[in-house]
């Protein structure tokens, strides 16, 4: 067995190792050893070593019996504790099991289980996924691996996902994204994060935050792993593999990139520079860059700052389903709750209408500017220290900044991803966000593969983080 940690192995080598006799079990044992060695990183809420071993043994038996076993068989997968996963209670960042309300695995988890992935455990999430920073007063904060001296947040709400990848405990992570909850932690921890178009993947079996915006997504440290996970989960890709081939761009030559200059506003030192360096490399590979500034982006941000629809739908979920939990909410959530609850039904419907208008306007603007994707920094600011966001006022400010660029993709109903562009002035990862049109998910994943061939995979571009073992 290779002595390299999971984060340092590319997909081809890891797949080959898993498919050797006893390989699935050996890789699972390595993941379990990494979980034990990296406990202070706080990636996981729950791990069941015997279940991990049993799933790995079953995957190994399937591989041994069938040379055409699914590509993902035996791959270690961490699951955000917003998803229902058999054998694990679902807490959704709270201190109570929500199994009675959410008893059944949804199609996303079932699709991966059908392919015999090995679930390494449930990773931490912001309480009810309502936040982009990654802290939760009920549990220890997952520690960003990229600062060896100071504890920094990993981004939220899929706060344990990126940490699970860089600690070598998983090769694929399930997250969810309502305003950036896959892309923000992926960006701040130096991973690849995929956001699907709203409605493309079922959100059954996932504790809801905002059904109008919730999407399922994945994180990984290899674009090929993201692509394999997409093909395993996506109903369209599974139904017609030829459709994948037709919509799968193999290179960036001729790609028309709209550089969204609004997304650079307020960037902290090194963020814009790393983003522009990555864009120069894509331009050298044949992409065509064009600066754009879309009025609809300003409209989306204005709606975000008054709570959008997510806050209203979240408040309704709490009051209607978990009224006893209201006063026990994270204080950073509770302080916004009174204002959220004051939104009338008329105001909520107005906001839904505004979202629909923005989505149509965004599509028209991309057509008018002649661009295939909108691009910019995924997160314009550094990952704050845990101490910095202990202040409620500071938390609110950093939370808005962390989600500022990603929420546009949710409001405009775009498909896309983040991939590491480089490092900022503090040596922390900077993500490059690429957002394609509504429903262009297969195109986005194919584009991710092409971009990764230019920029390199995260480990190649960034190296190993200071806290990695």
Token pair belonging to 273: 């520079």
User: Could you tell me how far CA 98 lies from the centroid of its own chain?
Assistant: 23
| Catalytic annotation, pick one of 80, 122, 195, 423 | 80
Query: Considering only CA atoms, which of 360, 344, 70 is closest in space to residue 231?
Result: 70
| Catalytic annotation, pick one of 158, 159, 176, 181 | 181
Token pair belonging to 121: 């455990």
Cα distances from 24 to residues 48, 53, 109, 113, 118, in angstroms, run 17, 9, 19, 15, 9
CA distance 207 to 176: 10
Identify whether 290 is a catalytic site residue: no
Identify whether 80 is a catalytic site residue: yes
* Dihedral-angle region of residue 47 (phi above 0 means left; psi in -120 to 50 means alpha; beta otherwise): beta
Contacts of 357 (CB under 8 A, 6+ apart): none
| Catalytic annotation, pick one of 78, 116, 157, 212 | 157
Query: Residue 361: is it exposed, middle or buried by C-beta count within 10 angstroms (0-12/13-18/19+)?
Result: middle
Q: What angle do CA 160, 191, 157 make, to 5 degrees?
A: 35
CA distance 315 to 337: 7
Strand pairing class (373-377; 288-292): unpaired
Strand pairing class (76-80; 172-177): parallel
Active site residues: 80, 157, 181
């Amino acid at each position: 067995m290779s002595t390299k940690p999971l984060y340092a192995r590319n997909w081809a080598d890891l797949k080959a190792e898993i498919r050797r006799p006893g390989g699935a079990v050996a890789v699972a044992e390595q993941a379990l050893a990494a979980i034990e060695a990296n406990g202070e990183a706080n990636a996981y809420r729950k791990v069941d070593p015997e279940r991990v071993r049993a799933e790995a043994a079953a995957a190994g038996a399937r591989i041994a019996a069938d040379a055409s076993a699914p590509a993902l068989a035996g791959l270690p997968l961490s699951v955000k504790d917003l998803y229902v996963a058999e054998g694990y209670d679902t807490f959704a960042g709270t201190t109570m099991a929500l199994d009675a309300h959410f008893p059944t695995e949804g199609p996303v988890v079932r699709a991966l289980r059908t392919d015999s992935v090995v679930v390494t455990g449930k990773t931490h999430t912001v309480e009810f996924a309502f936040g982009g920073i990654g802290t939760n007063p009920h549990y220890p904060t997952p520690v960003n691996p990229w600062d060896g001296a100071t504890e920094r947040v990993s981004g939220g709400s899929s706060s344990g996902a990126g940490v699970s990848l860089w600690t070598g405990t998983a090769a694929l992570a399930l997250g969810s994204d309502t305003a950036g909850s896959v892309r923000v932690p992926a960006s701040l921890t130096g991973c690849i994060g995929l956001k699907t178009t709203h409605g493309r993947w079922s959100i059954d079996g996932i504790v809801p935050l905002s059904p109008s915006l919730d999407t399922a997504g994945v994180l990984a440290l290899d674009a090929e792993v993201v692509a394999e996970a997409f093909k395993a989960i996506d109903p369209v890709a599974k139904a017609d593999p030829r459709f994948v081939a037709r919509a799968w761009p193999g290179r960036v030559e001729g790609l028309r990139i709209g550089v969204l200059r609004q997304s650079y506003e307020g960037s902290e030192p090194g963020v814009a520079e790393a983003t522009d360096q990555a864009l120069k490399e894509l331009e050298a590979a044949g992409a065509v860059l064009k600066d754009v500034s879309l009025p609809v982006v300003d409209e989306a941000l204005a709606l975000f700052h008054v709570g959008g629809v997510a806050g209203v739908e979240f408040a309704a979920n709490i009051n209607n389903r978990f009224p006893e939990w209201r006063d026990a909410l994270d204080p950073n959530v509770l302080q916004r709750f009174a204002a959220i609850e004051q939104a009338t039904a008329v105001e909520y419907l107005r906001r839904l209408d505004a979202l629909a208008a923005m989505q149509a306007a965004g599509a028209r603007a991309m057509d008018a500017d002649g661009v295939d994707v909108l691009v910019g920094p995924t997160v314009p600011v550094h990952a704050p220290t845990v101490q910095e966001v202990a202040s409620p006022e500071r938390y609110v400010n950093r939370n808005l900044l962390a989600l500022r660029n990603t929420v546009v993709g949710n409001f405009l109903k775009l498909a896309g991803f983040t991939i590491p562009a480089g490092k900022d002035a503090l040596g922390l990862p900077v993500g490059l966000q690429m957002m394609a049109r509504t429903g262009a998910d297969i195109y986005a994943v194919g584009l991710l593969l092409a971009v990764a061939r230019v920029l390199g995979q995260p480990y190649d571009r960034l190296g190993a983080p200071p806290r990695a073992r």
